[in-house]
């Protein structure tokens, strides 16, 4: 018996309207109850429950079109319980009122034709069984403005007659629908790191010649989006104009891929990195498809607030907010200062199921930028000289994230030559002054020349010698003091220089109340300076660098600073580090831990950034002073249009609702997220 589809529980009102939406999930690996007997991995006992939670979340999104990218069950063709597991898995998703469309995975029809694969390759019999149970394994359909093409990656390069039939059909179908926006889905990705990587003995990719055929097909028909799965790890790339996303599993992570992180191994030998599990909501708009990653598992040791988790009915008066991506948040004031590289590349040791070393990228920092909805990142200009990093930065720019390249100003540098060399790969240049309070005469002359040439410029300072209690050596900081802005503006005006932005550092105090008072003073001061019409400084980039390892402190400062930044016209907030720094002179937590999983501040900023960036609210937020109240139980910032409540104590979901009620009893004034 099936349950009726639940009503949509997600508030999309803060994002642009979409023409069409669809849900994509992968690798649910439903597993029959193993009983009391031993299992190879303890996390296997969670797979079916996690799959059920993913289907529940998919149903809560209210989209009639749901695609499953393969590996519906843990069993595989030829095993004793394969048929019964497949039947139970189909019943599980049907129980949520869903009728998904399925992609054939190796656990559904068999392995690809490689003699090193752990299970038998796809056969005519296993393929026929799939077609009978789940429908065709290659097909296409029109949905909204899209033409969606589903391919069976498992038969590619095989001697089965179906392999040739699929190729001929795919070429004809894409040609026939070349006037539509095209999306291609399959189980195996064509590659993980680069198209030229080896394939024989590689468990996770399609081999040539069909790899090359597929990539050429994507480019020839300008396919908009390619979606794949199988590896239980997220990757993101561009193939010509095609955006290429590999989705994580809903049920478990593949152990070998945790070798890409400089961290302790996740639970269950790396197989239970639960915060990475999730599914994707795709929202199709006029010129792009926005990809929203929704996690299905909370962080280890954290309580999922009752009634406010993904897929659960919201508590009375509360909404699950769908947070934005950079392309949907043009008014986002949030940026990141990337002290780590945007991506790293490593080789996974030879370990089952592959028999060769696999080269992989860590794309999680890049994907975190997209999930946060940041519109700008600051990177060292040297990254642009590294072909690998430059390619990853270009992927980020294609997602509508501005790139600001930082240069430590050396009088011997050929700045015009540097700018010319990197052409259109940079949106602004940040010149960092070292050893001087303000630009020298020659530096001012160069700023003026570049201004005339139309180069977007940001100015910053490197300040050595800061004495930090408890540290033997002084520290070096970056950014102007807010008190120095007026003098800097006067000097720039005398030299005839106009800067797009200046970097100012935020300096949280050791005590919340003292630091909050300092932040309010700085906001008032910058407003006063702007009211007096700064002649040469058009905007301010605030810089907040986390200190220490107290996640509550980081969350409080980040939320307060972002809310304060929204109240200052022309301001942006750059936060760092993105990842934890746990083996340096100054240990500090970032937005992500060393496994690239979100810390609480990440989720808080993701939600608040979407709320503040909504076009119908941003003007009202800027126009009002935010009043702050600090108590033992919470920090509250409130204006006419928004109230932000930061609990200071561990609270259950119901207690959070009560706390918000305590601070704002005016029914209907605020919408609660």
Determine the length of the chain. 673
Which whole-number Å values give the CA distances from 238 to 280, 304, 376, 399, in the listed order? 18, 35, 20, 11
As a whole number, the mean pLDDT across the chain is: 89
DSSP 547-616: -BS-HHHHHHHHHHHHHHHHTSTTEEEEEE-SB-B-SSSS-B--SB-TTSPBPHHHHHHHHHHHHHH-TT
Tens of pLDDT, residue by residue over 65-79, are: 999 999 999 999 999
The answer, yes or no, to whether residue 525 has pLDDT greater than 90, is no
Q: Note the pLDDT of residue 627.
A: 78
Q: Note the pLDDT of residue 308.
A: 46
Tens of pLDDT, residue by residue over 632-670, are: 778 888 777 788 888 877 766 667 777 777 666 554 567
Distance CA 233, CA 229 (A): 8
- Residue 581 three-state SS: strand
Tens of pLDDT, residue by residue over 16-67, are: 999 999 999 999 999 998 888 888 899 999 999 999 999 999 999 999 999 9
Q: Note the pLDDT of residue 313.
A: 55
pTM: 0.93
Mean pLDDT of the region 185-193: 98
Tens of pLDDT, residue by residue over 362-420, are: 999 999 999 999 999 999 999 999 999 999 999 999 999 999 999 999 888 899 999 99
Mean pLDDT of the region 552-561: 89
Q: Note the pLDDT of residue 300.
A: 37
Tens of pLDDT, residue by residue over 240-276, are: 999 999 999 999 999 999 999 999 999 999 999 999 9
Q: Note the pLDDT of residue 7.
A: 42
Report the range out of 165-174, 413-422, 472-481, 645-654 with the highest average pLDDT.
165-174
Inter-axis angle of helices 124-134 and 82-94, nearest 10? 20
Mean pLDDT of the region 432-447: 91
Q: How confident is the model at residue 530 (pLDDT cuts 50, 70, 90)?
A: low
Tens of pLDDT, residue by residue over 297-330, are: 754 333 344 444 555 555 556 778 899 999 999 9
Distance CA 42, CA 271 (A): 9
Distance CA 39, CA 269 (A): 14
Q: Note the pLDDT of residue 484.
A: 87
Q: How confident is the model at residue 135 (pLDDT cuts 50, 70, 90)?
A: very high
The answer, yes or no, to whether residue 616 has pLDDT greater than 70, is no
In percent, the amount of the chain with pLDDT more than 90 equals 70
Which whole-number Å values give the CA distances from 58 to 278, 308, 447, 528, 534, in the listed order? 10, 15, 53, 49, 51
Distance CA 644, CA 557 (A): 13
User: What values do phi and psi take at 664, rounded to 5?
Assistant: -145, 95
Task: Locate 470 and state its tokens.
Answer: 């408890």
Q: How many CB atoms lie within 10 A of CB 119?
A: 14
374-388, 427-441, 518-532: range with lowest mean pLDDT: 518-532
Distance CA 53, CA 93 (A): 10
Q: Note the pLDDT of residue 638.
A: 79
Where b means 16+ CB within 10 Å and e means fewer, 299-323 reads beeeeebeebbbbbebbeebbbbbb
């Amino acid at each position: 018996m099936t349950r009726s589809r639940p009503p949509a529980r997600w508030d999309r009102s803060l994002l642009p309207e979409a023409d069409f939406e669809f849900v994509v999930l992968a690798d649910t690996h439903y597993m029959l109850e193993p009983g009391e007997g031993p299992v190879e991995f303890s996390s296997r006992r969670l797979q079916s429950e996690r799959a059920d939670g993913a289907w529940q979340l998919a149903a809560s999104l209210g989209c009639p079109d749901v695609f499953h990218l393969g590996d519906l069950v843990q069993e595989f063709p030829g095993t004793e319980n394969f048929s019964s597991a497949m039947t139970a898995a189909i019943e599980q998703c049907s129980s949520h009122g869903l009728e998904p469309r399925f992609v054939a995975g190796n656990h559904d029809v068999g392995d690809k034709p490689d003699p090193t694969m752990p299970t038998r390759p796809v056969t005519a019999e296993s393929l026929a069984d799939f077609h009978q149970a789940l429908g065709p394994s290659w097909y296409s359909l029109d949905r909204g403005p899209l033409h969606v093409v589903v391919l069976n990656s498992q038969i590619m390069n095989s001697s089965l007659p179906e392999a040739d039939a699929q190729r001929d059909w795919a070429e004809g179908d894409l040609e026939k629908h070349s006037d539509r926006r095209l999306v291609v889905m399959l189980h195996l990705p064509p590659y993980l790191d680069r198209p030229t990587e080896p394939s024989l003995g590689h468990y996770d990719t399609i081999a040539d010649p069909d790899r090359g055929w597929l990539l050429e097909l994507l480019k020839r028909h300008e396919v908009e989006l390619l979606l794949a799965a199988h590896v239980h790890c997220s990757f993101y790339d561009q193939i010509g104009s095609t955006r290429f996303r590999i989705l994580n599993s809903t049920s478990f992570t593949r152990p070998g891929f945790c070798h890409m992180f400089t961290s302790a191994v996740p639970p269950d030998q790396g197989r239970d990195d639960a915060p990475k599990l999730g599914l994707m909501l795709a929202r199709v708009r006029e010129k792009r498809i926005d990809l929203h990653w929704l996690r299905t598992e909370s962080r280890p040791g954290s309580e999922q607030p009752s009634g406010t988790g993904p897929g659960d009915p919201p508590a009375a008066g509360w909404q699950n907010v769908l947070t934005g991506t950079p392309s949907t948040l043009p008014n986002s004031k949030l940026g990141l200062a990337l002290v780590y590289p945007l991506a790293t590349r490593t080789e996974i040791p030879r370990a089952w199921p592959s028999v060769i070393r696999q080269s992989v990228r860590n794309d999680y920092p890049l994907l975190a930028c997209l999930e946060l909805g940041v519109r700008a990142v600051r990177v060292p200009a040297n990254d642009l000289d590294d072909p690998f990093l430059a390619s990853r930065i270009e992927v980020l720019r294609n997602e509508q994230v501005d790139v600001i390249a930082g240069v430590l100003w050396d009088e011997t540098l050929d700045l015009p030559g540097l700018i010319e060399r990197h052409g259109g790969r940079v949106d602004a240049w940040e010149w960092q002054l070292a050893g001087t309070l303000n630009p020298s005469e020659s530096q001012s002359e160069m700023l003026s020349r570049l201004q005339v040439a139309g180069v977007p410029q940001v100015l910053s300072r490197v300040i050595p010698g800061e004495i930090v209690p408890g540290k033997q050596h002084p520290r070096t900081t970056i950014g102007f003091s807010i008190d120095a802005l007026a003098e800097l503006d006067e000097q720039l005006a005398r030299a005839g220089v106009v800067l797009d932005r200046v970097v100012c550092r935020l300096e949280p105090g050791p005590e919340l109340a003292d630091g909050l008072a300092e932040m309010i003073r700085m906001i008032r001061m910058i407003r006063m300076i702007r009211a007096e019409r700064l002649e040469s400084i058009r905007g301010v980039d605030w810089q907040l660098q986390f200190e220490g390892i107290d996640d509550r402190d980081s969350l409080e400062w980040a939320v307060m600073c972002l809310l304060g930044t929204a109240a200052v016209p022309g301001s942006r907030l750059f936060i760092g580090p993105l990842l934890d720094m746990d083996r340096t002179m100054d240990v500090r937590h970032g937005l992500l831990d060393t496994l690239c999983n979100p810390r609480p501040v990440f989720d808080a900023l993701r939600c608040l950034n979407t709320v503040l960036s909504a076009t119908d609210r941003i003007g009202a937020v800027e126009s009002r002073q935010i009043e702050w109240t600090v108590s033992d139980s919470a920090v509250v910032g409130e204006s006419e249009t928004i109230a932000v409540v930061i609990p200071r104590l561990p609270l259950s979901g119901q207690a959070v609702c009560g706390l918000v009620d305590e601070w704002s009893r005016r029914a209907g004034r605020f919408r609660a997220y």
